[in-house]
Chain A
Amino acid sequence: MLQQGTLDRSRFTKLVVEGVTKWYRSGSVTVHALEDVSLEVGNGEFVCLVGPSGCGKSTLLDIMAGLSKADSGRVIADGQPVEGPGRQRLVVFQEPALFPWLTAFGNVVFGLKLRPDLTNRQRREIATKYLALVGLEGFARASVHELSGGMKQRVALARALAPDPDVLLMDEPFAALDAMTRDQLYSDIQRIWRESGKTILFVTHDVREAVCLGDRVLLMSPRPGHIGREFTISLPRPREINSAKLAELAAQTAAALKEAGAVSQ
């Protein structure tokens, strides 16, 4: 029955995490980072994973990206088990991780150069298109250090979008930015998501951010990291981070998170 169910959903499911467990051993300290985490992300869905720092959400994202291995369980992307990092699942990190030796344009082209199916002309066109999509068409030749924090994160977003991944994994990408820049990026990311139709898994510790962006919000609790409750957010889009309705929903979600945190301790 379960098998059948999985098969039926596979057409709509982009990313499946099945019973992932992870331990960290460093010296004398052993941390149980993740315990039997399972989740599914539908094709074109925007899913937010919320939890306090240290709950293992970044670890989970690393495993989904293929950057680290689960001790048990597995991640399936498009029906194929994830064995390592791959262009189909690109990551936007909390720090922009832009390469300082390249221009903004060079950073966006970097991933495209690893696609042998493209000509150089196509690469240039695609990079230009995505820089425009994030609103930085005038900054192609800028060095990384000349960009503001928000602009860097936009370039990082363009770099992740340009190679046309199926899934975008975002690890607290706006956490280090000031509030005004962040508010702008909330509407930008919603627009980009709508226009590109990507599947996005967005990790954050900010409940309001999660409620603003996600179709679904998964709550994660620490020690060991596991997924507790799940909320479907049916507010109409585009959502405004400062709206009263959203604030109310965020407060309810935050209360649930607090409760779950208390239970796990």
Chain B
Amino acid sequence: MKRALHIALFFGILITIWWLAVATGRWSPVILPSPASVADYLWTSTLDDSLPDAMLVTVRRLLVGYLIGVAIGLPVGLFTSASQLLEDTVGSLALGLQTLPSVCWVPLALIWFGQTETAMLFVVVMGTVWSVIIATDHGARTIPPIFVRAARTMGSRGFHQWTRVTLPASLPFLVSGMKQGWAFAWRSLMAAEIYVTILTGFGLGHLLHYGRELNAMEQVIGVMLVIVVIGFLADRMLFSPWERFLHRRWGTSDQKL
């Protein structure tokens, strides 16, 4: 309760400073719109559905691409951890491509797939998959061998051993890898949406871009706020449960809020 009060107070002060800065009249509304005009933008664009639609488009791209990336990355990471040949080949490819900022995939995706949904998905998948592969590989390689030995004496092998021992044992690595994959995917998707008009759906990056084109600063700031909130909520909903689980079971890493 006390913490919630602190948080409310902090943001209250921040908005008050913003409002006071506007009230001085030193800056034109194009440079610094008032909090009220941003709120008005958020309200009207919610009423005319342009903002919720864009949110839906963006979140769907992100979730679908992210899930595809994880679905590919997890098994590939397990395979590379199990075979030296795959580690040397696919593993080093993943390591190399992970260092490539994922927004660099955008030009390639546009040439391959055109201004389509597929291009956006491709960028998100590329942002996700390498981090997940590397985290899974690393996690599976560094689990204490004693876990596998103990499981094998109890009759666990093959698929059971992978899914019931290796994967859960590497969970601390997996969660941080999937978080990193998420962060990369989210950033690259935003960059791609701002960079190019995708004909099949207008996302948040698109709204941001047109806010600039129209010199509508209240739209730019409003959309930025929405993007922050989505990122924050995604972190809370997707990863906090896992982090709490890690904290409860492993007894490590600090619990958040």
* Residues in chain A within 8 A of chain B (CB atoms): 65-67, 84-87, 89-91, 93, 95, 97, 99-102, 110-111, 114-115, 143-146, 159, 163
Contacts and interface: CB of A to CB of B under 8 A. Distances in A.
B149 A143 contact: no
Interface stretch (B3-11, B66-74, B94-102, B151-159): B151-159
B146 A100 contact: no
Interface in B214-252: 248-252
Contacts of B146: 93, 95, 97
Contacts of A67: 149, 152-153
Interface residues of B, number: 22
B171 interface: yes
Nearest to A67: B149
A66 B154 CA distance: 11
Which 3 residue pairs are nearest across A and B when measured between Cβ atoms?
A145-B251, A111-B154, A101-B168
- Majority SS of interface residues in chain B? helix
Nearest to A90: B153
Contacts, number: 69
A97 B150 contact: yes
A97 B149 contact: yes
B154 A114 contact: yes
B185 interface: no
A14 to B, nearest CB: 16
A181 to B, nearest CB: 20
Interface in B13-49: none
A159 B146 CA distance: 15
A99 B147 contact: yes
A146 B147 contact: no
A114 B156 contact: yes
Contact of A146 (B168, B169, B251): B251
